[in-house]
Amino acid sequence: MGKLFGTDGVRGIANRELTAELAYKLAQAGAAVLGRGIDRPRFILGTDTRISSDMLESAMAAGLCSVGSNAVLVGVVPTPAVAYLIRHLNADGGIVISASHNPAEYNGIKFFDSRGYKLEDDMEEAIEEMVINGTGIKLSDGQNLGRKTAETGGTRYYIDYLKSTVSGSFEGMKVAVDCANGASYLAAPSILQELGANVRVINNKPDGLNINVDCGSTHPEGLASFVKEEEAHLGLAFDGDADRVIAVDGEGRIVDGDYIMAICGRRLKEQGRLANDTVVATVMSNLGLHRAMEQAGCRVEETRVGDRYVLQRIREKGYNFGGEQSGHIIFLEHNSTGDGLLSALQLLESIKFFGRSLAELRDTMEKFPQVLVNVEVENSKKDSYRQDRVICSEIDRIESQLKNNGRVLIRPSGTEPLVRIMMEGQDAGQLRLYADNLARLIESRLT
């Protein structure tokens, strides 16, 4: 058994790579690490809508109970709801069973500590070592076993809290929503309707297999068409576990995380609520975000890809806002992790604040063309491009051609067997040619 944790928890094809046995062991190890020194610790356990979530939920509940921990099952809820409920219900940690934006055959396991934060690397490594080596797990018996309980009010608690983060209502706004047949299918339409918006919904009928299928934040083109059909003011597309959001303006144009950060960052700056006048973003964020923030009197600080690293920098430096182009946005004032529903509400709040449409606000940031290409590579070879002289030489050649008007970023995916190529510059056609040629080279050298 190799390394278990990737960029965002443990993921794999359910019942092949991520088995019930592995989930059981991860729950035991997670309870041992997070509940160390606590008498009968309590853990919130939430899921998304995948068919495999029931199997894994049962295995993890059993694992928690087997080591004397109590499992509080909150059912299908957005991932950030679990982060909030840990604090609201005074739990000692939380576990989410979800593979986020991945296809239905995958599933994943994410841990949160008692403050609702994703775990630091050293804690994940401690859990991993226990699972792999089979050490450090102390089974309970008799009256020391844990119990499983159901908390049916979790979604309601979460909705009520999110409503408190915005002022007034969104009456007069017509909003189209794509729930990706995932964890937001109840919460997202409910909270927007309760805040007065005129809501139109698609992909809110999960059947266990249709999560993320040609819908949600990774496929916003369907929502773009729906926005125009319904003549909505804007659209909001969530991913399978609703920790990210991508918007669509009234003209059907995509408004990704960079645009959302530019819009919300400027509002926070004008309200005096942007800590150190800094937005934290990843190396994948567009150069246009940097320019827009500079014009607003702010700066952008970069991290490696992954919302956990954005959060880590936010906490280290005393910042309070940042995110990813993919739609993971962190408003630390309100929640401890990327939160799609919270971000959606804050975007609507910004539209109210500026008194302008989303289309108008989108145009305040000029985006540089970016080309993204994925190359399928075995997990064991994803990092090999760094040692391949031919590949490195080609990357250097492309960068010299782009000079100071663009960049090349190559990175192995933390969750899938892919090497991701991103190129940014002024000429989209040229970038596509460079990216496709580099993708073919990587494929020929590493597969």
Active site residues: 100
Closest CA to 215 of 226, 231, 229: 226
And the tokens for 75? Answer: 């059912």
Tell me the C-alpha distance between 253 and 176, whole Å: 13
And the tokens for 127? Answer: 């859990």
Q: At what angle do helices 20-34 and 53-66 cross, to 10 degrees?
A: 40
Q: How many helices (H) and strands (E) does the chain have?
A: 14, 19
The residue count of the chain comes to: 447
And the tokens for 178? Answer: 């794509």
Tell me the C-alpha distance between 279 and 321, whole Å: 6
E strand segments, 152-270: 174-178, 198-202, 234-238, 245-249, 254-255
Sign of dihedral through CA atoms 333, 334, 339, 344? negative
3 state SS of 320: coil
And the tokens for 156? Answer: 């309601």
Amino acid at 248: V
Q: Could you tell me which residues come within 8 angstroms of residue 342 by beta carbon, excluding any fewer than 6 positions away?
A: 80, 162, 165, 329, 331, 334, 335
- The torsion angles phi and psi of 14, rounded to 5 degrees, stand at -65, 135
Closest CA to 367 of 431, 256, 294, 289: 289
Amino acid at 118: K
DSSP state of 104: T
CA torsion 230-234-237-242 (nearest 10°) is -130
Q: Within a 13 Å sphere around the CA of 401, how many CA atoms are in the beta-carbon half?
A: 17
Tell me the C-alpha distance between 195 and 370, whole Å: 36
DSSP state of 371: E
Closest CA to 95 of 113, 122, 121, 69: 113
- Report yes or no: 22 and 13 within 8 Å, Cβ to Cβ: no
